[in-house]
Amino acid sequence: MTAYVFTFGGNARHDDPRSRDKTVVGGKGANLAEMASIGLPVPPGFTITTEECVRYLAEGANFSDVLRADVAQALAHIEAAVGKKFGDPADPLLVSVRSGARISMPGMMDTVLNLGLNDQTVQGLAKTSGDARFAWDSYRRFIQMYSDVVLGLDHHLFEDALEIIKEDNGFYTDVEMTAEHWQTLVAQYAQIVERALGKPFPQDPAEQMWGAIAAVFDSWDSERAKVYRRINDISGHWGTAVNVQAMVFGNMGDTSATGVAFTRDPATGEKAYYGEWLVNAQGEDVVAGIRTPQYLTRRAREAANAKPLSMEEAMPEAYAELAQVFELLERHYTDMQDIEFTVERGKLFMLQTRAGKRTAKAALKMAVDMAGEGLISEATAIRRIDPMALDQLLHPTLDPTAARDVLGKGLPASPGAASGAIVLDADTAEKFAVRGDSVILVRVETSPEDIHGMHAAKGILTARGGMTSHAAVVARGMGRPCVSGAAGLAIDMAARTLTIGGRALKEGDVITLDGTTGEIMAGEVPTIEPELVGDFATIMEWADRHRRMKVRTNAETPADCRMARQFGAEGIGLCRTEHMFFDAGRISAVREMILAEDEDARRAALAKLLPEQRRDFHEIFEIMTGLPVTIRLLDPPLHEFLPHADEDFADLSDTIGIGVATLKRRAEELHEFNPMLGHRGCRLGITFPEIYEMQTRAIFEAAGDVAAALGEAIVPEIMVPLVATRRELEILKALIDRTAAKVFAEKGRTLDYLVGTMIELPRAALMAGEIAEVGEFFSFGTNDLTQTTLGLSRDDSARFLGVYVDQGIFARDPFVSLDIDGVGQLVALAAGRGRETRRDIKLGICGEHGGDPASIAFCEQTGLDYVSASPYRVPIAKLAAAQAVLGMA
């Protein structure tokens, strides 16, 4: 019989492999069971599987009688292990209820601590613990958390009440509150709940527990969780597990503590313990930024010049035991671990371990170091790095020589640098970012509800919180620089202003963050390009050793070509010639050519463009010497180059000597209702062959000149766009061959070249066997192939694709990651039919999908020869190509 509730700790058996399967019990449940099985001090508990979450959400939020019976039996396991009874007013068992998806989603789903407390059990807890202050503190925490998570009340109602009672008594921190103060606050909290809901706070522990379980399941479908999954490409069908675990208390006085730690530095990758802790606190105090925590190690405290003692100094015995656990867990999991722990009256308990989130820089260093230590293999090191995370390393950082107007300093919570306009809430951040503004999200502290604004922002600044706060963890995962715990930062939400370092700023003012140093600066600070050496170079070298596919770039400017070569591009997979035509110095000639009434007039205009195109290609061939260069002939509809405003028509009229009325009439004649499927691509070459003739001449003349000057063979690959039939390509290949023959005769030298086509129409994919009789290479233009296969406009579908992804119609945005089932089937079919006709045909992909790791894995599986990506995505594509090979081995 399949089990849907699994126990751990306290002599629980783990014979069923499902009990440690992350897809069944989630990452947290699997790791709790694993830690317990290797003898670590894990409080006993049980896990309700992800399958129950999926069933609960699908079947109207009901719990089956079977599940209730299994939970009762599992609860009895906890009671037997700790010797306490759930709901016993004399000596109550208290539990935590936490989420646990198969992939860590920090802060996105709900947690409830101290569950089981009520007006009677709090008295028993006070008596058995001998600490009334601790008992009433735990009860007020429970009411506040349960009211927020389960009852849906605004947590600010409770925070405000706490702040008022502290102000009334002249207290600065929570630790100054006595048992009597906490008891008074509990009564106030109860009143808040009854006023808001019209009924008392629930007193039945069983009702409390099932309410918390339901809230955790429901949080899987919360808006913040959906946003996080969409950002991180996590399936919405998986569901979350629920972990119910005996409480251990870090808030039982000065011999108790709680903390979060990493076995290596998640920001730099250094092999050094990294973390934070708080005396007399519970875990939420650390991760939610409620109190600014202390450093875990003496070394870190001294480096920060902080006064409060580190755990290493204040609790040496517990710290020494914790350090041993660090070493054991890292060896066991062969990866850096993110650990949550509690010390209850001197005794250490492990509450969680998981593979730690890390910056791209840290990921590279850890992978290279662990391979060097013999902990993992080179292949594992390559697999372990998220290719998309490399994007963090490929962009500029602050220029160390630039002047800095430093306003203040906080904790360097996530490295990197960013400048942008101040915004004070997540919705504003998203709104400003949509219109193209760079923004810095500034908050007192972030919460999971801020996830959309954090994603939209270039950087994050918080007044409270530490290096392991919600803001820090999420920012590191997103690759956003973050400065947290900026004590001198005060925010006035009503006035939409803030002060820092004695300076007043308003929303919209520009600031700069340095997440590596923690500095906050006024204005925008200049940046410098990254140096891709050290661990980055090592990983790229390893990836090159393992991958099969080549990686080219999409580039048409000299700057992009140089950048791509610096990143290791092995040629150009797509040079878009139309981008060259928009240059201010030649747009008039382009427009003159388009508006010409006959072929002679077009040729006259094209003669002006020929030297410009030749110069373009000459520079590209020089930069890419020794590497293949695929040049796409003119593709977009001609009307895209035409003026729209009256003053632009007047300027063009003055330049080319044709009246404005005539120009407007001609522009109107070129207007199309559906230009994406109109007079564009090879259709231009068929109807106006002189355009492709000019471009082809420019290519051959430039290639010949560079080859003669450098003494190296240049092999241009000329690509005809939007072909649907063999005959189209046949006509245009003949034109290209004639032009080549003329240029070779004029120059007295020849060169090799290839003529191929983009496969971007479904018919071309279906007829690839015939088209390959003429074409010597195929490049899959998956941007347009996706549009024409799915009937979706890339420019217009963004407004509803998010809904399609949320509802599971598409697993991901098909313009970001290839629709493998549909569009991918056409790519595979065309590749197969093309190779049946021409065994040595060269096959590549040049759409945006060429930089997407999931799409690259499909390209490897399909046997394409190369992928082509934007310059900054070349290293991402190289690593993904290596992972595709290793993943298939």
Tokens 């995370």 appear where?
389
What are residue 144's phi and psi, to 5 degrees? -65, -45
- Give the integer Cα–Cα distance in Å for 255 and 131: 13
Amino acid identity for residue 384 in this structure = R
Q: Rounded to the nearest 5°, which phi and psi values hold at 348?
A: -85, 135
Q: Rounded to an integer, what distance in angstroms lies between the CA atom of residue 71 and that of residue 206?
A: 11
Q: Which of 470, 546, 618, 639 is catalytic?
A: 470
Burial call 194-213: b when 16+ CB within 10 Å, e when fewer: eeeeeeebbeebeebbbbbb
Q: Tell me the CA distances in angstroms from 522 to 328, 417, 519, 734, one per residue in order.
A: 45, 13, 10, 61
CB atoms within 10 A of CB 409: 18
- For 81-107, give one letter per residue: b (16+ CB within 10 A) or e: bbebbbbbeeebbbbbbbbbbbbbbbb
| C-alpha angle 775-779-784 in degrees, rounded to nearest 5 | 120
Cβ atoms of residues 644 and 593 within 8 Å: no
Q: Which amino acid is at 433?
A: A
639: annotated active-site residue: no
Burial of 653 (0-12, 13-18, 19+ CB in 10 A): middle
Sign of the C-alpha dihedral computed for residues 644, 648, 653 and 656 taken in this order: negative
Give the tokens for residue 370: 């662990």
In angstroms, rounded to a whole number, what is the distance separating the alpha carbons of residues 471 and 195?
Answer: 33
Per-residue tokens: 197: 């809901």
CA dist list (Å): 119 to 111, 131, 155, 206? 22, 16, 21, 15
- Active-site position among 53, 575, 682, 846: 846
CA gap 863, 876 in Å, rounded:
19
Rounded CA-CA distance 786/814 in Å is: 7
Length of the chain: 889
**Going by C-beta distance under 8 Å and a sequence separation of 6 or more, which residues neighbour residue 606?**
593, 690, 691, 694
- Residues contacting residue 494 through CB under 8 Å, at least 6 positions apart: none
Instruction: Write out the two tokens for 669.
Output: 């004649």
- B/e letters for 466-496, b = 16+ CB within 10 Å, e = fewer, are bbbbbbbbbbbbbbbbbbbbbeebebeeeee
Which amino acid is located at 578 in the chain?
E
List all residues 6 or more positions away from 384 whose beta carbon is below 8 Å from its beta carbon.
335, 363, 366, 367, 376
Helix residue ranges per DSSP H, 344-422: 360-372, 378-384
Q: What is the CA radius of gyration of the chain?
A: 32
575 catalytic? Reply is no
Q: For residue 431, how many C-alpha atoms fall within 13 Å in the half-sphere facing its CB?
A: 8
Cβ neighbors of 203 (< 8 A, separation 6 or more) are 118, 119, 120
3-state secondary structure of 733: helix
**What contacts 704, CB < 8 A, 6 or more positions away?**
714, 743, 744, 747, 749, 751
User: Helix/strand/coil (H, E, C) string of 456-516?
Assistant: HCCEEEECCCCCCCHHHHHHHHHCCCEEECCCCCEEECCCCEEEECCEEEECCCEEEEECC
Which residues carry out catalysis? 470, 846
